[in-house]
């Protein structure tokens, strides 16, 4: 539906934890991180992969901050934090 609304292709990238090759001006939609194997178990290897994707980590998902998951808890141990 997003492609339809924007009038341009917006591919869904399901496997993005090792990085995504995005061209300047290209728009992609990343699969929800909750679908990644190890997310709910706060997997350290997955947390490190998340951290490698960011320049600075900003935790703004206060509704999920209490969850010990790779994207809310684990990544903080390995990423630069604002």
Q: Give me the pLDDT at residue 76, please.
A: 93
Q: Give me the pLDDT at residue 54, please.
A: 92
Strand partners, 12: 29
Does 25 score more than 80 pLDDT? yes
Angstrom CA distances, 21 to 13, 16, 55, stand at: 10, 9, 17
Does 50 score more than 90 pLDDT? yes
Residues 72 and 40: their CA atoms lie apart, in Å, by 10
Give the 3-state secondary structure of residue 26: coil
Q: Where are the domains of the chain?
A: 1-31, 34-82
Residues 23 and 37: their CA atoms lie apart, in Å, by 27
């Amino acid at each position: 539906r997003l492609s339809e609304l924007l009038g341009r292709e917006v591919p869904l990238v399901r496997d993005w934890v090792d990085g995504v090759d995005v061209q300047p001006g290209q728009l992609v939609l990343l699969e929800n991180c909750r679908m990644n194997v190890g997310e709910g178990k706060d997997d350290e290897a997955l947390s490190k992969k998340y951290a490698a994707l960011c320049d600075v980590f900003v935790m703004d998902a206060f509704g999920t901050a209490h969850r010990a998951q790779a994207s809310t808890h684990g990544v903080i141990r390995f990423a630069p934090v604002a």
